[in-house]
Structure 1
Amino acid sequence: MGRTFGECLKLAWDWAKDAIKCREEREAKIKAMVANQKPVEHTSQIEGRLTWSDCYNANSKGYMGSQYCGD
C-alpha cells in the first residue's frame, strides 16, 4: 500500500530538516578548516632566474621547429 498525504508531508519535512542540518555541519567543518589553515610560504627563488637554455636544449626541436621540454 502507499502512504497517506500526511505521512508523505511528514517525511518531506524530515528530509528538509536533515538537509539543513547536514549543510550547517558541512559549513562548520569548512570554517574550522579555513581557520586552522596556515599561510603558504613560497621559498623558491628559482622561477625568477630561469633562462631559455634551462628548459630547452639543442635536441628539443619538434614538428616545424617547435620547442618541447617535457611534462
Structure 2
Amino acid sequence: MNEEAKALSDGLARTHEITDYDFWRALKSIEDELYWLERNRRPIPIDLIYVRAIVRTARQKRLFIAYDPAPFDPF
C-alpha cells in the first residue's frame, strides 16, 4: 500500500465520525459489489480494489486501537 493510502486509512481509523458498524457495512458493500462483478464476468475496477484495501486496513487499525490485552486489573 502506498503512503497516501496508508495516511488515508490512518485518518479513517482515528476519526470518531465513522462507527465500527459503518466500517463493517462499507466493507460488506464493497465485497458484495466485487462478488457481483466476478459472477457476471465484468471487469473489476482497480479503484474498487484500492478502496477495499483502505477500508479493510482502517477497520483493522480501529479494532487494534480498541484492543486491550489486559482489560482487568490483576490486583
TM-score range, shorter chain: 0.3 to 0.5
Higher relative contact order (CA 8 A, sep 6+): 2
Larger fraction in helix: 2
> Normalization by structure 1: what TM-score?
0.36
